[in-house]
Structure 1
């Protein structure tokens, strides 16, 4: 509908019927004015309702008695309803028109652009520091393909990851946080520690991560994990150190135990999932304190070397302490192999009692205590039960191996041994054996 300034003719359905006028036979209703000098027409039949929108009088209802009252009232009601709808539509249109013509616009309140800098010890600050040095590994082998994580060790292109990420790989590609991908080659790996080193060449601007000291880690310390869970690269999660010195074993698919990894692990509740393996666990200074390696699933199983994938994180993740990772990485880069500390005994892994029992016989019928080895020199005998290492209790053969492998070859150890119902304290120096 046009506004009040327009002069277009009224719509036809609003015009006066041809040849009719308002009823002049009723008091209060004005008589028609003759047009062109003509005479006034005869009055309309009784009971009619006439509305001249262009006249000077408002709507008049002419009541001529009960004969036509119902019909006349219905007509008035219909006309009133139409007028109300017309008025509403007109008001809505004029409102929209007024808003369009107005110079103001609707805008909801919103915070302005702020400084994107973050404190270095915040999760965002740690992530910003570490992400350029974290990579995603895409591995393809005879049994299929998979994804894992690693991080840059030096400017020469060495990258540390888990052994179970690269085991059996025929092809490897490394993708950086920038999206750039290059091929990589294996430098060395060790299944006992579940660690491996790969190398990229011809890449400039590498950002090695700083290595921390896992001896400084305390329960409750905040940590950040970075990896590619389910192939979602550059995923950052946060949590705390839940425990230290957790004995964790993973692998064992080969049956002879040669592929089992033994880790004196850092436990964290930072969400870790398949694909996080090999990624860094960082402290508040963005220093690497661990290499994420395994998770415990809701069914009690673990996701680790060669193990079946579990559903996802339930807040029980395990990382190899960086001190162990550093030593193994240095040996792998230097020689392609890592050494394992040993005491020179064969353990009875079927022993169900508390502690680790030295077997009666070794492999191939050889003595369980290696002649001239560290244990033999310290006075350990077949059948002895080792209950403590440096004062820390061990509950089985796996835990003893883990405690020993947390040290370096040549480190001194104090063992508590139970023999014939009596405890003895023996000192020895760890020997060395080549890993696998």
Structure 2
């Protein structure tokens, strides 16, 4: 009796309909085949073995949808014949599956190659693709116009210095700027106040020089140093009377000891009267330039420049919400001493060692002084500028130079703004009548 194996997980059936077992002997004689197909003989010895494997309940669901069975009488050269199940939908052939797999592999390879290229470029590996288009122009500052913010900063920074002064209890750090070719430097008086010995002046290239204090004026908050160095670059001075609200400005200095710092803003107000100083100490009065350029501790004494790079003010005071002065920071309100006033004080200190103070020849005080209606004069100096213009004690000055007055400090600060000998218009009230006068301000050497 001939035996036939069932292989590869295929479940063949015996002719009686029972499942075939592995190595089960096959019956002798002709084996019935499938129903006759057109042009053929059912169950003929020349027909292939027929398998019902596709409908077999023990069939592996992962088995292919076509099986090949060798005829029992066939030899090794017999041609296999596929037998398919007409009840199942046609599945993609192996050729289509292979083609899809090949295309997927090619796409994955292309994507991997692209990612690898970009990663290589990101890690500094040279690529073959040139990104962007060259401008053909030289890079850097060569393309920045001299009147641009960067051009102004480049021109001004060599003239800006950091000032360090040993006060005995610590080191005060501020800013300054070179005012002349022979080494005079302007800074704030409160930067060098209480200093012991000479100051250390650091230039923007990192070099240092010793700066001796030539003189200082606490009331105007201006001090002048002299550095022992040649070849310094002085600033260009502007006119603080020619600026307007909205003009662009740059503030230079060493805020929080960060040297060579430049911030930008605009002139946000003019003639903002400032009274600064410690209670019981020296008070400072000036009609300041207000700016929103960021100014912090350490900017004191540095230049405030206009859009053309000309110095129009000396950074001096900031407004802050902090109670402790050491924790004060910028909130968008900073104030600079007008350069016309600072330059005049500097010239006095260089020429004579001390500054002249501009006066009107009257003292404020008495009932109503500092009311919203103006500033009342308490006394008027005989032979002084106010008396020469016809003003008397008890008169209430409403405006000075067209600027309304509300506080006594307003009158002092605005008078300090002008140089001695300046003629200013005064509007005042005597009783119920308003009157005007022209006052020629004078100098008082302290």
Instruction: Please report the TM-score for the alignment, with normalisation by the length of structure 2.
Output: 0.69
| Partner Cα distance (1:372, 1:345) in 2 | 10
Q: How has the CA–CA distance of structure 1 residues 69 and 166 changed in structure 2, closer, same or farther, with 3 Å as cutoff?
A: same
The higher relative CO (CA closer than 8 Å, separation ≥ 6) is in 1
Q: How has the CA–CA distance of structure 1 residues 378 and 111 changed in structure 2, closer, same or farther, with 3 Å as cutoff?
A: same
1:355, distance to aligned residue in structure 2 (A): 1.2
| Partner Cα distance (1:355, 1:423) in 2 | 12
Q: 1:371 aligns with which of 382, 386, 410?
A: 382
Contact 1:343/1:373 (<8 A) preserved: yes
1:120-159 superposed matches below 5 A? 120-159=146-185
| Partner Cα distance (2:171, 2:401) in 1 | 43
1:5-28 deviation per Cα after TM superposition (whole angstroms, max 9, x unaligned): xxxxxxxxxxxxxxxxxx998599
Contact 1:137/1:148 (<8 A) preserved: yes
Match of 1:385 in 2: 396
1:348, distance to aligned residue in structure 2 (A): 1.3
| Partner Cα distance (2:167, 2:288) in 1 | 28
Contact 2:305/2:311 (<8 A) preserved: yes
| Partner Cα distance (2:133, 2:325) in 1 | 47
Question: Is 1:330 paired with 2:357?
Answer: no
Q: How has the CA–CA distance of structure 1 residues 119 and 383 changed in structure 2, closer, same or farther, with 3 Å as cutoff?
A: same
Q: 1:397 aligns with which of 395, 408, 418?
A: 408
| Partner Cα distance (1:227, 1:242) in 2 | 20
Match of 2:139 in 1: 114
| Partner Cα distance (1:349, 1:247) in 2 | 21
Q: 2:436 aligns with which of 413, 425, 430?
A: 425
| Partner Cα distance (1:24, 1:108) in 2 | 67
| Partner Cα distance (1:387, 1:214) in 2 | 24
1:140-219 superposed matches below 5 A? 140-170=166-196, 171-201=198-228, 203-219=229-245
Provide the aligned C-alpha RMSD in A.
Answer: 3.8
Structure number, greater radius of gyration:
2
1:408, distance to aligned residue in structure 2 (A): 1.1
Q: How has the CA–CA distance of structure 1 residues 267 and 107 changed in structure 2, closer, same or farther, with 3 Å as cutoff?
A: farther
Q: How has the CA–CA distance of structure 1 residues 126 and 349 changed in structure 2, closer, same or farther, with 3 Å as cutoff?
A: farther
Instruction: Please report the TM-score for the alignment, with normalisation by the length of structure 1.
Output: 0.71
1:221-272 deviation per Cα after TM superposition (whole angstroms, max 9, x unaligned): 1111111110000001111111111111211x2515xx21111111111111
1:30-52 deviation per Cα after TM superposition (whole angstroms, max 9, x unaligned): xxxxxxxxxxxxxxx98xxxxxx
Q: How has the CA–CA distance of structure 1 residues 142 and 207 changed in structure 2, closer, same or farther, with 3 Å as cutoff?
A: same
1:430, distance to aligned residue in structure 2 (A): 1.4
Q: How has the CA–CA distance of structure 1 residues 110 and 332 changed in structure 2, closer, same or farther, with 3 Å as cutoff?
A: farther
| Partner Cα distance (1:278, 1:104) in 2 | 51
Question: Is 1:357 paired with 2:382?
Answer: no
Match of 2:427 in 1: 416
Contact 1:149/1:161 (<8 A) preserved: yes
| Partner Cα distance (1:407, 1:109) in 2 | 61
Match of 1:33 in 2: none
Match of 1:31 in 2: none
Q: How has the CA–CA distance of structure 1 residues 356 and 177 changed in structure 2, closer, same or farther, with 3 Å as cutoff?
A: same
Contact 1:189/1:196 (<8 A) preserved: yes
Q: 1:273 aligns with which of 280, 292, 296?
A: 296
Q: How has the CA–CA distance of structure 1 residues 310 and 412 changed in structure 2, closer, same or farther, with 3 Å as cutoff?
A: farther
| Partner Cα distance (2:203, 2:382) in 1 | 50
Q: Figure out how many residues of one structure are paired with residues of the other and give that number.
A: 353
**Match of 2:241, SS?**
helix
Q: How has the CA–CA distance of structure 1 residues 279 and 116 changed in structure 2, closer, same or farther, with 3 Å as cutoff?
A: same
Bigger drift between 371-380 and 259-268 goes to 371-380
1:332-383 deviation per Cα after TM superposition (whole angstroms, max 9, x unaligned): 1111111011122221188341211112xxxxxxxx3222222223332222
Bigger drift between 183-192 and 371-380 goes to 371-380
Contact 1:349/1:397 (<8 A) preserved: no
Match of 1:238 in 2: 264
Gaps of 5+ in 2: 10-21, 24-52, 64-100
| Partner Cα distance (1:291, 1:397) in 2 | 24
**Match of 1:241, SS?**
strand
| Partner Cα distance (1:281, 1:158) in 2 | 18
